[in-house]
Structure 1
Amino acid sequence: MLTFEEKEAIIQEFPELTRKEVSMKRVNYHYEESLYDKTTVIYHLHPNGNGFVYVGDLPQYEAKEKGLVNIREVSADELRKMIKDSIDYLATEEEEAFDEEVEEEWTNKESSKLTLLQEDTLWNIYHGYNLEESFGSYDEAKAYLLEEGFRRGKR
C-alpha cells in the first residue's frame, strides 16, 4: 500500500489539480477546468492512506456511490491511470461520445410509434411532435422503451 506521502507525490505530478484541505487532516484535489459542476478528482485523501478518486460512470472501473473508487490499496501506476482518466472524463463533453445525432423509430405490438432523438445532452422520446419522456442517457431511454413494450425498427 502506498503511503499518504507517496500518493500525494503522485497526485502532484498533475499540475492541473489544486490541493484543498478539508476536515480531519484530509485533502481534496480539484480539476478547476472541469466542464461540469463536479471538479473533485481526489476526495478525502487521509493520512492513513485511504481516499477516493472520482471516475464517474467510466466502464473500466467499479465505482461505488457517487462515482468514487477507493484508492487505499492501489499501486502507483493504477493511481496515475485513475487520475488521468478522471481528468479526461471531466474535460470531455458528454455529447462528443456520439459521432452523429441519433434518431430512432421504436414500435410496439399495436403499431404505435415513438421516436428516440438525441438533442444536446438529452435523449428525448416523442409521440409525434409531443414530448413523451426525457432521459440523461441512451441506456436509460432504451430501458424505458423496452419496459413499455417497444422495439427498435418496425415489427
Structure 2
Amino acid sequence: MLTFEQKQAIIESFPELTRKDVSMKRVNYHYEDSLYDKTIVVQHLHPNGNGFVYVAGIPGYEADERGLVNIREATEAELRQAVGDAIQALSEEKTEREPIEQTWVNGDGEKLVLKEELDAWNIYHGLNLEDSFGDYEEAVDYLKEERFKRVQGDAQ
C-alpha cells in the first residue's frame, strides 16, 4: 500500500490540480478548469492512506453512489490512471445522444416498441407499458423469447 506521502506526490504530479486542506488532516484536490459544477478529483485523502477519486460515469470503475472509488489499496499505476481519467472526464463535454426506440413485430403482425427511458428499457404495446427491464440485453431476450423480430431500419 502506498503511503500518504507517496499518494500526495503522485496526485501533486498533476499540475492542473489544486490542493485544499480540509478537516481531520485530510486533503482534497480540485480541478478548477472543470466544465462541470463538480471540481473535486481527489476527496478526503487521509494520512492513514484512505481517500477517494471521483470517477462517476467513467467505464471500468466500480464507483459508489456518490461516484467515488476508494484508493486505499491502489497501486501507483492505478492511482495515476484514476486521477488522469477523472481530470479527462471533467474536461470533456458530454454528448447527448438520442434515446433508442425500436419496433419489433411477431409472426401475427403484432407490434411492440422498445424504448430507452430514464435508465430503463420499456416495451410498449400501443400506449400501454408491457414490461420494463434494467438493460437492453434483457429486453431483447424477452422479445426474442416471445418470438418478436426487430423491424429493420429502426434507430440503433
Aligned residues: 139
Q: Deviation digits for residues 25-54 of structure 1, max 9, x if unmatched?
A: 111101111111111100000111100011
Residue aligning to 2:127: none
1:154 CA displacement: 3.0
Larger Rg: 2
- 1:51-70 paired onto structure 2 within 5 Å: 51-70=51-70
> What's the TM-score, normalizing by structure 1?
0.67
CA RMSD of aligned residues (A): 3.7
1:94 CA displacement: 1.4
- 1:20-31 paired onto structure 2 within 5 Å: 20-31=20-31
Q: SS at the partner of 1:15?
A: coil
Equivalents in 1 of 2:100, 2:61: separation in Å?
30
- Equivalent position amino acid for 2:7 in 1: K
1:22 CA displacement: 1.1
Residue aligning to 1:91: 91
Identify if the C-alpha distance between structure 1 residues 141 and 34 changes in structure 2 by more than 3 Å, giving closer, same or farther: farther
Q: Are 2:105 and 2:150, in contact at CA under 8 Å, matched by a contact in 1?
A: no
Q: Are 1:20 and 1:30, in contact at CA under 8 Å, matched by a contact in 2?
A: yes
Q: Deviation digits for residues 40-95 of structure 1, max 9, x if unmatched?
A: 10000011110001111222111122111111111111111110011111111110
Identify if the C-alpha distance between structure 1 residues 23 and 106 changes in structure 2 by more than 3 Å, giving closer, same or farther: farther
- Equivalent position amino acid for 1:66 in 2: R
Residue aligning to 2:128: none
Q: Are 2:45 and 2:51, in contact at CA under 8 Å, matched by a contact in 1?
A: yes
- Equivalent position amino acid for 1:7 in 2: K
Identify if the C-alpha distance between structure 1 residues 142 and 18 changes in structure 2 by more than 3 Å, giving closer, same or farther: same
Residue aligning to 1:34: 34
Q: Percent identity?
A: 54
> What's the TM-score, normalizing by structure 2?
0.67
Equivalents in 1 of 2:102, 2:4: separation in Å?
53
Equivalents in 1 of 2:88, 2:10: separation in Å?
17
